[in-house]
Amino acid sequence: MGKKGVFICIEGLDGSGKTTQAVLLTERLYKSHNAIYTAEPSHGKTGTFIRECCLYEKKRLPTAAEALLFAADRIEHIENEIKPALAEGKMVICDRYIYSSLAYQGSAGLSLDWIKTINSHALQPDFGIFIDVSPERVLERLQRKKSVMETLETQQKVREIYMKFVEKGELIKIDGGKPKDVVADALYSKVLSLLKTVT
Ligand SMILES: Nc1ncnc2c1ncn2[C@@H]1O[C@H](COP(=O)(O)OP(=O)(O)OP(=O)(O)O)[C@@H](O)[C@H]1O
Ligand SMILES: [Mg+2]
Protein backbone atom coordinates (compact mmCIF):
# COMPACT_ATOMS: atom_id res chain seq x y z
CA MET A 1 0.00 0.00 0.00
CA GLY A 2 1.70 3.19 -1.15
CA LYS A 3 1.27 6.67 0.24
CA LYS A 4 -1.19 8.83 -1.69
CA GLY A 5 -2.47 11.35 0.84
CA VAL A 6 -0.78 14.34 2.39
CA PHE A 7 0.69 14.22 5.89
CA ILE A 8 0.88 17.44 7.91
CA CYS A 9 2.03 17.81 11.50
CA ILE A 10 1.21 20.72 13.77
CA GLU A 11 3.79 21.53 16.42
CA GLY A 12 4.23 24.11 19.14
CA LEU A 13 4.56 24.69 22.87
CA ASP A 14 1.94 23.44 25.30
CA GLY A 15 -1.03 25.78 25.01
CA SER A 16 0.12 27.36 21.75
CA GLY A 17 -3.16 26.43 20.08
CA LYS A 18 -2.14 23.26 18.24
CA THR A 19 -5.37 21.39 18.96
CA THR A 20 -7.53 24.45 18.30
CA GLN A 21 -5.80 25.05 14.96
CA ALA A 22 -5.44 21.42 13.88
CA VAL A 23 -9.17 20.90 14.41
CA LEU A 24 -10.11 24.12 12.54
CA LEU A 25 -7.77 23.20 9.67
CA THR A 26 -9.23 19.69 9.48
CA GLU A 27 -12.76 21.14 9.30
CA ARG A 28 -11.74 23.48 6.49
CA LEU A 29 -9.98 20.75 4.50
CA TYR A 30 -12.40 17.92 5.26
CA LYS A 31 -14.55 18.24 2.14
CA SER A 32 -11.90 19.31 -0.35
CA HIS A 33 -9.04 17.06 0.79
CA ASN A 34 -10.66 14.33 2.88
CA ALA A 35 -8.76 15.61 5.93
CA ILE A 36 -8.74 13.76 9.24
CA TYR A 37 -7.48 14.90 12.64
CA THR A 38 -5.24 12.75 14.78
CA ALA A 39 -2.90 13.42 17.70
CA GLU A 40 0.04 12.13 19.68
CA PRO A 41 0.22 10.53 22.14
CA SER A 42 -2.18 8.33 20.14
CA HIS A 43 -5.13 6.32 21.39
CA GLY A 44 -3.21 3.08 20.84
CA LYS A 45 -1.86 0.97 23.69
CA THR A 46 1.41 2.85 24.17
CA GLY A 47 -0.19 6.27 23.76
CA THR A 48 -2.84 5.45 26.34
CA PHE A 49 -0.12 4.30 28.73
CA ILE A 50 1.81 7.56 28.18
CA ARG A 51 -1.26 9.73 28.80
CA GLU A 52 -2.36 7.78 31.86
CA CYS A 53 1.01 7.11 33.47
CA CYS A 54 3.56 9.71 32.36
CA LEU A 55 2.25 13.18 31.55
CA TYR A 56 0.75 14.24 34.86
CA GLU A 57 2.80 12.16 37.28
CA LYS A 58 5.16 13.81 39.78
CA LYS A 59 7.45 10.81 39.68
CA ARG A 60 8.70 10.85 36.09
CA LEU A 61 10.23 8.01 34.17
CA PRO A 62 13.84 8.58 33.13
CA THR A 63 13.75 10.87 30.08
CA ALA A 64 15.25 8.25 27.80
CA ALA A 65 12.53 5.76 28.78
CA GLU A 66 9.92 8.42 28.08
CA ALA A 67 11.49 9.11 24.67
CA LEU A 68 11.37 5.40 23.81
CA LEU A 69 7.71 5.21 24.78
CA PHE A 70 6.87 8.19 22.55
CA ALA A 71 8.83 6.58 19.71
CA ALA A 72 7.00 3.27 20.23
CA ASP A 73 3.65 5.06 20.28
CA ARG A 74 4.61 6.82 17.04
CA ILE A 75 5.26 3.49 15.30
CA GLU A 76 1.91 2.15 16.50
CA HIS A 77 0.16 5.34 15.37
CA ILE A 78 1.84 5.32 11.95
CA GLU A 79 1.18 1.64 11.25
CA ASN A 80 -2.37 1.47 12.57
CA GLU A 81 -3.75 4.89 11.68
CA ILE A 82 -1.57 7.23 9.62
CA LYS A 83 -0.39 4.89 6.85
CA PRO A 84 -3.84 3.33 6.26
CA ALA A 85 -5.43 6.81 6.04
CA LEU A 86 -2.73 8.07 3.64
CA ALA A 87 -3.12 4.94 1.51
CA GLU A 88 -6.82 5.81 1.15
CA GLY A 89 -5.75 9.22 -0.14
CA LYS A 90 -6.74 11.08 3.01
CA MET A 91 -5.00 14.15 4.35
CA VAL A 92 -3.72 13.41 7.85
CA ILE A 93 -3.39 16.39 10.19
CA CYS A 94 -1.42 15.27 13.21
CA ASP A 95 -1.42 17.30 16.45
CA ARG A 96 2.21 16.81 17.62
CA TYR A 97 4.68 14.44 15.96
CA ILE A 98 8.42 13.73 15.91
CA TYR A 99 9.39 17.39 16.47
CA SER A 100 7.65 17.23 19.85
CA SER A 101 9.99 14.39 20.84
CA LEU A 102 12.99 16.33 19.61
CA ALA A 103 11.92 19.55 21.34
CA TYR A 104 10.71 18.12 24.68
CA GLN A 105 13.07 15.22 25.30
CA GLY A 106 15.85 17.26 23.67
CA SER A 107 15.18 20.11 26.10
CA ALA A 108 15.42 17.58 28.91
CA GLY A 109 19.00 16.79 27.85
CA LEU A 110 18.82 13.90 25.38
CA SER A 111 20.85 14.12 22.20
CA LEU A 112 18.81 15.11 19.16
CA ASP A 113 20.71 12.51 17.12
CA TRP A 114 19.66 9.73 19.48
CA ILE A 115 16.05 10.89 19.40
CA LYS A 116 16.22 10.89 15.58
CA THR A 117 17.72 7.38 15.62
CA ILE A 118 14.97 5.88 17.76
CA ASN A 119 12.45 7.59 15.47
CA SER A 120 14.06 6.45 12.25
CA HIS A 121 10.95 4.40 11.40
CA ALA A 122 8.80 7.51 11.48
CA LEU A 123 7.27 8.59 8.21
CA GLN A 124 8.48 12.00 7.09
CA PRO A 125 5.62 14.51 7.09
CA ASP A 126 5.00 16.46 3.89
CA PHE A 127 4.87 19.65 5.95
CA GLY A 128 5.49 20.54 9.56
CA ILE A 129 3.93 23.68 10.97
CA PHE A 130 5.20 25.39 14.12
CA ILE A 131 2.60 27.58 15.80
CA ASP A 132 4.76 30.14 17.52
CA VAL A 133 3.56 31.70 20.78
CA SER A 134 5.94 33.09 23.38
CA PRO A 135 6.64 30.90 26.43
CA GLU A 136 5.26 33.64 28.73
CA ARG A 137 2.00 33.85 26.79
CA VAL A 138 1.43 30.08 26.71
CA LEU A 139 1.92 29.81 30.44
CA GLU A 140 -0.75 32.48 30.96
CA ARG A 141 -3.12 30.49 28.77
CA LEU A 142 -2.36 27.29 30.67
CA GLN A 143 -2.96 28.53 34.22
CA ARG A 144 -5.78 26.02 34.60
CA LYS A 145 -4.00 22.83 33.47
CA LYS A 146 -0.29 22.46 33.83
CA SER A 147 1.40 19.20 33.02
CA VAL A 148 4.81 18.26 34.41
CA MET A 149 6.51 19.62 31.27
CA GLU A 150 5.23 23.16 31.65
CA THR A 151 7.58 25.58 33.40
CA LEU A 152 8.88 28.79 31.83
CA GLU A 153 12.43 27.50 31.60
CA THR A 154 11.32 24.27 29.94
CA GLN A 155 9.13 26.12 27.48
CA GLN A 156 12.02 28.44 26.55
CA LYS A 157 14.33 25.50 25.86
CA VAL A 158 11.60 23.72 23.92
CA ARG A 159 11.01 26.81 21.75
CA GLU A 160 14.74 27.10 21.04
CA ILE A 161 14.81 23.58 19.64
CA TYR A 162 11.68 24.12 17.57
CA MET A 163 13.26 27.28 16.17
CA LYS A 164 16.33 25.31 15.02
CA PHE A 165 14.03 23.29 12.77
CA VAL A 166 12.30 26.46 11.57
CA GLU A 167 15.71 27.90 10.65
CA LYS A 168 16.60 24.70 8.78
CA GLY A 169 13.33 24.96 6.84
CA GLU A 170 11.93 21.69 8.26
CA LEU A 171 9.15 23.50 10.11
CA ILE A 172 7.15 26.43 8.81
CA LYS A 173 6.40 29.07 11.42
CA ILE A 174 2.97 30.61 11.85
CA ASP A 175 2.42 33.48 14.30
CA GLY A 176 0.14 31.97 16.95
CA GLY A 177 -0.07 35.06 19.14
CA LYS A 178 -3.03 36.52 17.21
CA PRO A 179 -6.71 35.74 17.78
CA LYS A 180 -7.75 32.18 16.91
CA ASP A 181 -9.57 33.03 13.67
CA VAL A 182 -6.66 35.16 12.42
CA VAL A 183 -4.23 32.30 13.10
CA ALA A 184 -6.64 29.86 11.43
CA ASP A 185 -6.83 32.00 8.27
CA ALA A 186 -3.04 32.33 8.09
CA LEU A 187 -2.57 28.60 8.60
CA TYR A 188 -5.18 27.71 5.98
CA SER A 189 -3.63 29.99 3.33
CA LYS A 190 -0.15 28.70 4.12
CA VAL A 191 -1.28 25.08 3.78
CA LEU A 192 -3.10 25.81 0.50
CA SER A 193 0.06 27.33 -0.95
CA LEU A 194 2.18 24.42 0.33
CA LEU A 195 -0.25 21.93 -1.20
CA LYS A 196 0.43 23.42 -4.63
CA THR A 197 4.03 22.27 -4.21
CA VAL A 198 3.10 18.60 -3.69
CA THR A 199 -0.01 18.04 -5.82
N1 LIG B 1 -5.05 32.33 19.25
C2 LIG B 1 -5.46 32.16 20.52
N3 LIG B 1 -5.62 33.21 21.33
C4 LIG B 1 -6.00 33.07 22.62
N5 LIG B 1 -6.25 31.87 23.21
C6 LIG B 1 -6.10 30.78 22.45
C7 LIG B 1 -5.69 30.85 21.08
N8 LIG B 1 -5.61 29.59 20.58
C9 LIG B 1 -5.95 28.77 21.61
N10 LIG B 1 -6.26 29.49 22.72
C11 LIG B 1 -6.65 28.97 24.04
O12 LIG B 1 -5.46 28.52 24.66
C13 LIG B 1 -5.71 27.28 25.32
C14 LIG B 1 -4.80 26.21 24.73
O15 LIG B 1 -5.21 25.94 23.38
P16 LIG B 1 -5.04 24.49 22.75
O17 LIG B 1 -5.60 23.46 23.68
O18 LIG B 1 -5.56 24.52 21.36
O19 LIG B 1 -3.44 24.42 22.74
P20 LIG B 1 -2.52 23.16 22.56
O21 LIG B 1 -1.30 23.67 21.88
O22 LIG B 1 -3.26 22.07 21.87
O23 LIG B 1 -2.21 22.77 24.06
P24 LIG B 1 -1.65 21.38 24.65
O25 LIG B 1 -0.19 21.37 24.33
O26 LIG B 1 -1.90 21.50 26.11
O27 LIG B 1 -2.40 20.27 23.98
C28 LIG B 1 -7.18 26.98 25.16
O29 LIG B 1 -7.86 27.47 26.28
C30 LIG B 1 -7.56 27.75 23.91
O31 LIG B 1 -8.91 28.10 23.88
MG1 LIG C 1 -3.61 20.08 22.46
Q: What is the pLDDT of residues 32-46, one digit of tens each?
A: 999 999 999 999 999
**Atom nearest to 144 CA in ligand 1:** 29
pLDDT at 1 over 70: no
| pLDDT for res 43 | 96
CATH of domain 6-198: 3.40.50.300
Among 20, 27, 129, 154, name the best residue to mutate to test ligand 1's pocket (greatest count of ligand atoms within 8 A of Cβ). Answer: 20
To 5 degrees, how large is the angle CA 31–CA 37–CA 41?
175
Return left, alpha or beta for 117; rule: phi > 0 is left, psi -120 to 50 is alpha, else beta: alpha
CA of 174, nearest ligand number: 1
Ligand 1: which residue has its CA nearest to atom 16? Answer: 17
Cβ atoms of residues 74 and 122 within 8 Å:
yes
Task: Check if 100 has its Cβ closer than 6 Å to any atom of ligand 1.
Answer: no
Task: Check if 90 has its Cβ closer than 6 Å to any atom of ligand 1.
Answer: no
Task: Check if 17 has its Cβ closer than 6 Å to any atom of ligand 1.
Answer: yes
- Per-residue pLDDT of 119-170, as tens digits, reads 999 999 999 999 999 999 998 887 755 555 568 888 999 999 999 999 999 9
Mark the residues whose beta carbon lies below 5 A from ion ligand 2.
19
| pLDDT for res 144 | 59
- Per-residue pLDDT of 8-23, as tens digits, reads 999 999 999 999 999 9
Task: Check if 128 has its Cβ closer than 6 Å to any atom of ligand 1.
Answer: no
Torsion sign over Cα 94, 52, 113, 16: positive
Whole-angstrom Cα distance, residue 114 to residue 110?
7
Return left, alpha or beta for 124; rule: phi > 0 is left, psi -120 to 50 is alpha, else beta: beta
Cβ atoms of residues 25 and 80 within 8 Å:
no
Ligand 1 geometric centre to CA of 13 (Å): 10
Cβ atoms of residues 34 and 70 within 8 Å:
no
Q: Taking residues 57-78, report their average pLDDT.
A: 92
Domain boundaries, the chain: 6-198
**pTM of this prediction?**
0.95
